[in-house]
């Protein structure tokens, strides 16, 4: 009888981790959440708009009191902060389409950044060297030149495994003080822990990384998953980027039923801190 | 004129059920079939034709009338403007129906109609306003016709059915469901 009921419930609800698709609403409460962004055009003053940014905070339900209690207990046991949205609770991929609005072939780059519930990662806020010729800090993924035909469109995506890898890289940089180049250039998706390094010393940017002897390694169960997706779009012609975010709720009951149409008061109030590192002479 | 036509149809159905037809069982039955579901305008461009499977069980109340309940599922590629691209969604349907028909030797013809519910597996059609945020259920109405070929074994028949169904909560999306099925009558 129980089995029959479960089968009926399963049939009635479909698979628990069927994907949902979210995109920025027509009238977003966050003005930086833009459904489509354009760059490469004249801004009206003779200057070219080099890049455009958008970010989308995932519509995640508030944490239940019993879950918060369990999490606090686990945080005390491990000695490190255990996030509400852990790596693997939700699987996220980002699908995008670039449209060239000019009749000349162009090149475009799409960069994936984002935030966990602890920190947001913006490469512009991470300056590791005062050398003008030093490469800028990398994005978490993407930034591969893509040729877009005249008036044509190209679609692509950041797969679930790429976003998962990006989440781990973000954690390494922000909670583990790992150099962003090291974090993003290595494949870390199977890492079982993050060994924190001593914080970057802005007065001594050339110093090599040193393991923090007093820091507790962050175990994988305490890795945070990304709760905000940031995209940076850099075309060399006037182009448009449209995107949406595909989410599979693996843990279940994480995503709000109304998704982006939900009242912000009914969503979890995430407030990630900007992660900033500024090298100085 | 219309009245005359109605009388003729009823007479044909009655005659059909009394002719010396190939032996066929009557009573409880089960059907299982495979087919395809295609969306009709105005949403024909939002979802591709997709494979479908369905089961139906029921009871012949008379030789010309039966009641049944059915479950069906179909899978479709969403063909909305990208992004997303190459994404699929599933449509699950269940309900009860009434079938009226008659047999002409080996061939049985029927018309059917029913009501039930439909569930969509994702919100991918929010983009084209077929579904609204949080909406996954719809009432469903269906109607169609088909024929069956009675095999020599009195319990088995092969059938072809075509139904149109309408889902009012999903922006009144309409689709055509065609299926080949095997019927077993106990």
pTM of the model: 0.88
Best interface-test mutation with B: which of A9, A18, A247, A259 has the largest number of B CBs within 10 A? A18
Domains and CATH numbers, chain B: 2-185 (2.40.160.20)
Of A242, A257, A258, the CB nearest to B83: A242
Closest CA to A228 of A82, A121, A141, A148: A121
Q: Which tens digit of pLDDT belongs to each residue from B100-126? A: 999 888 999 999 999 999 999 999 999
Query: Hey, is the C-beta of B133 within 8 angstroms of any chain A C-beta?
Result: yes
On whether residue A6 sits in a domain, the answer given is no
User: If you search the block for the tokens 């920025």, which residue do you land on?
Assistant: A24
Backbone conformation region of residue B14, classed left if phi is above 0, alpha if psi is from -120 to 50, else beta: alpha
- Tell me if B83 and A260 make a contact (CB, 8 A cut-off): no
Nearest CA to CA, how far is A156 from chain B (Å)? 9
Query: Hey, is the C-beta of B124 within 8 angstroms of any chain A C-beta?
Result: yes
Residue of B nearest to A97 (CA): B83
As for how many domains chain A has, the answer is: 1
Continuous segment of H or E residues that includes residue B52: strand B50-62
On whether residue A41 sits in a domain, the answer given is yes
Phi and psi for A157 in degrees, rounded to 5? Answer: -155, 160
SS3 for A169?
Answer: helix
- Tell me if A257 and B134 make a contact (CB, 8 A cut-off): yes
Residue of A nearest to B133 (CA): A258
pLDDT tens digit at each of 281 positions of chain A: 455 554 444 444 455 678 999 999 888 788 999 999 999 999 989 999 999 999 999 999 999 999 999 999 999 999 999 999 999 999 999 999 999 999 999 999 999 999 999 999 999 999 998 888 999 999 999 999 999 999 999 999 999 999 999 999 999 999 999 999 999 999 999 999 999 999 988 888 778 789 999 999 999 999 999 999 999 999 999 999 999 999 999 999 899 999 999 999 999 999 999 999 988 86
Query: How far out from the chain centre does Cα B126 lie?
Result: 25
**Residues B182, A259: Cα–Cα separation, whole Å:** 42
Q: Which tens digit of pLDDT belongs to each residue from B35-50? A: 999 999 999 999 999 9
Q: Give me the long-range contacts of B174-178 (CB less than 8 A, separation at least 24).
A: B174/B39, B174/B40, B174/B43, B175/B37, B175/B38, B175/B39, B175/B40, B176/B37, B176/B38, B176/B40, B177/B35, B177/B36, B177/B37, B177/B52, B177/B54, B177/B72, B177/B74, B177/B142, B177/B144, B178/B35, B178/B36
ipTM score assigned to the predicted complex: 0.84
On whether residue A63 sits in a domain, the answer given is yes
Query: Hey, is the C-beta of B53 within 8 angstroms of any chain A C-beta?
Result: no
Best interface-test mutation with B: which of A19, A93, A258 has the largest number of B CBs within 10 A? A19
On whether residue A232 sits in a domain, the answer given is yes
SS3 for B178?
Answer: strand
**Residues A266, A199: Cα–Cα separation, whole Å:** 36
Q: What is the mean pLDDT of residues B73-98?
A: 96
Residue A155: its chain B contacts at CB < 8 A? 82-83, 85
Residue A112 is predicted with a pLDDT of: 98
SS3 for B146?
Answer: strand
Residue A11: its chain B contacts at CB < 8 A? 71, 92, 94
- Tell me if B134 and A96 make a contact (CB, 8 A cut-off): no
On whether residue A2 sits in a domain, the answer given is no
Phi and psi for A175 in degrees, rounded to 5? Answer: -100, -20
Q: Which tens digit of pLDDT belongs to each residue from A163-197? A: 999 999 999 999 999 999 999 999 999 999 999 99
Tally: H helices and E strands in chain B: 1, 8
- Tell me if A21 and B127 make a contact (CB, 8 A cut-off): yes
- Tell me if A155 and B82 make a contact (CB, 8 A cut-off): yes
Whether the Cβ atoms of residue B58 and residue B74 lie closer than 8 Å to each other: no
- Tell me if B83 and A244 make a contact (CB, 8 A cut-off): yes
User: Is the pLDDT at B3 greater than 70, yes or no?
Assistant: no
- Tell me if A153 and B82 make a contact (CB, 8 A cut-off): yes
Of A19, A23, A153, the CB nearest to B122: A19
Of A14, A95, A153, the CB nearest to B84: A95
Residue B92: its chain A contacts at CB < 8 A? 11, 14
Domain range enclosing A206: 17-278
On whether residue A1 sits in a domain, the answer given is no
- How much of chain B, in percent, has pLDDT values that exceed 90? 83
Q: Residues of A164-196 as b/e, b for ≥16 C-beta within 10 angstroms? A: bbbbbbbbbbbbbbbbbeebbeeebeebeebeb
Residue A10 is predicted with a pLDDT of: 45
Q: Round the CA-based radius of gyration of chain B to a whole number and report it.
A: 18
User: If you search the block for the tokens 């169904």, which residue do you land on?
Assistant: B165
SS3 for B161?
Answer: strand
**How many A×B Cβ pairs under 8 Å?**
60
Q: What is the mean pLDDT of residues B125-154?
A: 95
On whether residue A10 sits in a domain, the answer given is no
Strand locations in B78-172 (E): 88-104, 107-120, 137-150, 156-167
- Tell me if A14 and B127 make a contact (CB, 8 A cut-off): no
DSSP track, B70-99: EEEEEEEEB-SSSSS-S-EEEEEEEEEEEE
On whether residue A3 sits in a domain, the answer given is no
**Residues B80, B167: Cα–Cα separation, whole Å:** 19
Query: Hey, is the C-beta of B49 within 8 angstroms of any chain A C-beta?
Result: no
C-alpha distances (whole Å) from A157 to each of A103, A134, A162, B30, B106 are 24, 29, 9, 44, 55
């Amino acid at each position: 009888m129980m089995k029959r009921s479960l089968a009926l419930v399963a049939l009635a609800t479909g698979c628990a981790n069927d994907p949902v698709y979210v995109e920025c609403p027509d009238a977003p409460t966050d003005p930086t959440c833009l459904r489509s962004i354009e760059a490469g055009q004249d801004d009206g003053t003779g200057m070219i708009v080099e890049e455009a940014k958008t970010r989308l905070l995932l519509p995640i339900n508030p944490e239940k009191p019993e879950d918060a209690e369990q999490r606090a207990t686990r945080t005390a046991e491990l000695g490190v902060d255990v996030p509400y949205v852990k790596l693997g609770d939700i699987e996220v991929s980002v699908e995008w389409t670039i449209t060239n609005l000019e009749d000349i072939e162009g090149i475009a780059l799409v960069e994936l950044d984002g935030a966990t519930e602890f920190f947001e990662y913006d490469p512009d806020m991470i300056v590791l060297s005062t050398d003008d010729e030093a490469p800028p800090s990398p994005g978490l993924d993407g930034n591969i030149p893509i040729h877009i035909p005249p008036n044509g469109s190209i679609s692509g995506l950041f797969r679930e495994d790429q976003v998962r890898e990006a989440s781990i890289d973000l954690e390494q940089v922000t909670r583990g003080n790992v150099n962003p180049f090291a974090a993003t250039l290595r494949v870390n998706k199977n890492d079982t822990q993050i060994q924190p390094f001593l914080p970057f010393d802005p007065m001594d940017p050339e110093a090599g990384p040193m393991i923090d002897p007093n820091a507790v390694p962050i175990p994988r169960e305490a890795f945070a998953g990304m709760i905000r997706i940031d995209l940076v779009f850099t075309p060399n012609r006037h182009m448009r980027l449209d995107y949406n975010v595909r989410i599979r709720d693996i843990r279940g009951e994480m995503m709000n039923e109304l998704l982006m149409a939900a009242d912000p008061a009914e969503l979890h109030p995430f407030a990630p801190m900007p992660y900033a590192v500024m090298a100085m002479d | 004129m219309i009245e005359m036509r109605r009388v003729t149809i009823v007479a044909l159905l009655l005659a059909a059920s009394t002719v010396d037809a190939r032996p066929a069982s009557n009573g409880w039955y089960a059907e299982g079939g495979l087919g395809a579901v295609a969306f009709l305008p105005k949403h024909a461009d939002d979802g591709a034709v997709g494979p479908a499977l369905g089961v139906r069980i029921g009871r012949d109340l008379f030789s010309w009338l039966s009641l049944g309940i059915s479950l069906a599922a179909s899978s479709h590629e969403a063909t909305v403007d990208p992004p997303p691209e190459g994404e699929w969604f599933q449509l699950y349907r269940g309900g009860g129906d009434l079938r009226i028909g008659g047999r002409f030797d080996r061939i049985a013809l029927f018309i059917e109609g029913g009501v039930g519910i439909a569930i969509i597996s994702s919100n991918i059609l929010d983009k084209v306003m077929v579904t609204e945020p949080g909406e996954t259920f719809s009432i469903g109405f269906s109607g169609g016709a088909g024929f069956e070929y009675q095999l020599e074994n009195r319990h088995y028949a092969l059938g072809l059915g075509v139904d149109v169904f309408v889902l009012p909560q999903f922006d009144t999306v309409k689709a055509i469901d065609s299926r080949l099925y095997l019927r077993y009558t106990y």
